[in-house]
Chains A and B, each alone.
Chain A
Amino acid sequence: MQYENSYPVKGGDFKEAGKVAVLVKMALKKMGVAPEILRRAAIAAYESEVNIISYARMGTIRLQVRDDHIRIDVEDEGPGIEDIELAMRPGYSTATELIRELGFGAGMGLVNIKSCSDEFEITSEVNQGTKLRILFRIPETG
């Protein structure tokens, strides 16, 4: 199993939020990824997408599928995160009213991504952007 795709996300494009997540889900479903893993990957994609739209100028969500894992790399050009530890705290949010109207911005995004992944790495540079490396292991079957 080998699949790669890259999805661009535009900052501020609130109407489109969730589109990439649905595409990621459909791609994984088509490849026959187990529903439980597929679900977690799509949730991570959704939260990542909302983060880019909410805070960055633009970004990319890259999906890689291999026999034993799914990897999602998120990269954005934006303000970056000054205090990652604080940003990872459940409930901490710098969301605007627009984001909250959409039903997001509850300060659970990064927490959700981390808790549904098998490996999670976040790096950020202020005034440059944020990178996420999210990994989901696919257990051997049979």
Chain B
Amino acid sequence: MTLFDVMDILDAKLLVGRKLLNTKVDTAFSADLLSDVLAYARPGSVLLTGLTNPQVVRTASVLDIAAIVIVRGKIPPAETLRLAEELEIPIMATHYILFESSGRLYRHGIVGCIQKVGADEIVAL
């Protein structure tokens, strides 16, 4: 599907990146921890998160993320949007919660950019 479809499915409002809405996507990663995003998100995926700071945009840029979906009805601060314009990362905002957003996309064929984190990477504390 395209980012336009993502927007439609999540009833999302586009905040940055109208020109990039035809970008095709088929994977996503959802997290509120940027360390996990840095470790596991794959290029070309949609990033769903409740974080709104400029670090989300920088993380997305470093990882070549296709678009950021801000969940739970949050609106990012102006500096985040400015940075997204500068680094050409589309941002959209949805009122759905993270679980619901992920589920709706999954139902339409978007899958996780990874399914599991390897067993050897889980270490009991």
Alpha-carbon distance A48/B15, docked complex (angstroms): 30
Chain A residues within an 8 Å CB radius of B51: 103
Whether B35 and A106, one on each chain, are in contact in the complex, defined by CB atoms closer than 8 angstroms, is yes
Alpha-carbon distance A39/B39, docked complex (angstroms): 11
Chain B residues within an 8 Å CB radius of A90: 121-123
B side interface size, CB within 8 A:
26
Within 8 A of B (CB), among A82-104: 89-92, 102-104
Whether B53 and A103, one on each chain, are in contact in the complex, defined by CB atoms closer than 8 angstroms, is yes
Shortest Cβ distance from residue B27 to the other chain A in the assembled complex, whole angstroms: 15
CB-CB nearest in chain A for B34? A103
Whether A15 and B61, one on each chain, are in contact in the complex, defined by CB atoms closer than 8 angstroms, is no
A56 proximal to B (CB < 8 A):
no
Partner of A46, one of B53, B59, B64: B59
Residues of B bordering A, CB below 8 Å: 32-39, 43, 49, 51, 53-56, 58-59, 61-64, 87, 121-123, 125
Residues of A bordering B, CB below 8 Å: 15, 17-19, 21-22, 25, 35, 39, 42-43, 46-47, 89-92, 102-109, 111-112, 115-116
The 10 closest A-B pairs by CB, nearest first: A18-B58, A103-B34, A108-B35, A42-B62, A106-B35, A112-B39, A103-B51, A106-B33, A18-B55, A43-B38
29 contacts between A and B (CB under 8 A): A18-B58, A21-B62, A22-B62, A22-B87, A25-B61, A35-B43, A39-B62, A39-B63, A39-B64, A43-B39, A43-B62, A43-B63, A46-B62, A89-B125, A90-B121, A92-B125, A102-B55, A103-B32, A103-B37, A103-B51, A105-B35, A106-B33, A106-B35, A106-B36, A108-B33, A108-B36, A109-B35, A112-B39, A115-B121
